[in-house]
Amino acid sequence: MVVMNMTRTKSAGFALEKSLADKKKRAREVLAGLHKLYPEADCALTHEDPLQLLIATILSAQSTDVTVNKVTPVLFQRYPTARDLAEAPPAEVERIVHSSGFFRQKTKSIQGACRKIVEEFGGKVPDTLEQLVTLPGVARKTANVVLGTAFGKNEGIVVDTHVGRLATRLGLTWTSKDGKDAVKIERDLIGLFPQDEWTFLGHALIWHGRRVCFARKPNCPGCTLERHCPSAGLFNEAGDFRG
């Protein structure tokens, strides 16, 4: 299969990757670099079981992990099971999750998901993608987080804003041009990386996006992936891309 993807032309080395094999070779190098950098990369949302991770991930939309990690201990202490959460007074759940933003919608999603878990899955979070995405407030990204981190199943790759940005900058997606089409990005990444690395890859790219490859002003000079990255050094002092 020939993939004619013109990557950033900072240097001849990245001028044109003609084949999927070329891309896979560089993907292997990026992966090795990420393992070296973040051997313990993991989910930053505090949780003790699949239900807690599911709820925390729903709450993390448009919020920060730090904020969610302050909210969830209170929520889970008050309502420890799916049934407890499903039967809780909505106003009380809203009050607890308020600081995470979009608290009314998130409360509806949390309680709807818990209700369905109780009524249709015996009180246990289901462990397949098909079942997870039937829960209110759960789309593919949240399902991938739960499957990979709580159940150790590599069924997909989590594509959030960091993963989208890094996949684009690192030239690991070619069907999505702006780093925002999560479905296309996930499909490209799945084609490049071995399945048993998918969960690690999502976590490690998120860590790298938070610590080095910032949305504004990525730290290319301090990035150990620089020699594998077609975007390295292509940002001006203001942090804008000038490739």
| Binder of ligand SF4 out of 47, 141, 169, 203 (CB under 6 A) | 169
- Pick from 61, 146, 170, 206 the residue near ligand SF4 by CB under 6 A: 170
User: Among 70-78, 156-164, 192-200, 217-225, which window interacts with ligand SF4 (CB under 6 A)?
Assistant: 217-225
- Candidate ranges 71-79, 111-119, 174-182, 219-227; the one touching ligand SF4 (CB under 6 A): 219-227
What sign does the CA torsion over 127, 130, 136, 138 have?
positive
Is residue 232 involved in binding ligand SF4 (CB under 6 A)?
yes
Site string for ligand SF4, 95-124 (x = CB under 6 A): ------------------------------
Q: Hey, is 116 helix, strand or coil?
A: helix
Quick check: 90 and 111 in contact, CB under 8 A? yes
Q: Which is nearer to ligand SF4, 135 or 225 (CB)?
A: 225
1-39 per-residue burial string, b: 16 or more CB within 10 A, e: under 16:
eeeebebbeeeeebeebeebeebeebbeebbebbeebbe
Q: Would you say 50 or 164 has its CB closer to ligand SF4?
A: 164
Q: Give 157 or 229: the residue with its C-beta nearer to ligand SF4.
A: 229
CA distances from 128 to 2, 74, 239 (A): 33, 28, 41
116, 135 contact by CB (below 8 A) = yes
Q: Does 50 contact ligand SF4 by CB under 6 A?
A: no
Q: Does 9 bind ligand SF4 (CB under 6 A)?
A: no
Q: Is 86 in the site for ligand SF4 (CB under 6 A)?
A: no
- Does residue 223 belong to the site contacting ligand SF4 (CB under 6 A)? yes
Nearer to ligand SF4 (CB atom), residue 30 or residue 146: 30
Q: Which helix (H) or strand (E) element contains residue 85? A: helix 82-87
Strands (E), the chain: 2-5, 17-19
220 touches ligand SF4 (CB under 6 A): yes
- Least CB distance to ligand SF4 at residue 33 (A): 9
Q: Helix 90-97 and helix 65-78: axis angle, to 10°? A: 150
Question: According to the 3-state scheme, what is the secondary structure of 195-224?
Answer: HHHHHHHHHHHHHHHHHCCCCCCCCHHHCC
Using only the alpha carbons of the chain, give its radius of gyration.
20
* Under rule CB under 6 A, residue 231 binds ligand SF4: yes
Q: Which residues bind ligand SF4 (CB under 6 A)?
A: 169-170, 212-213, 218-220, 223, 225-226, 229, 231-232
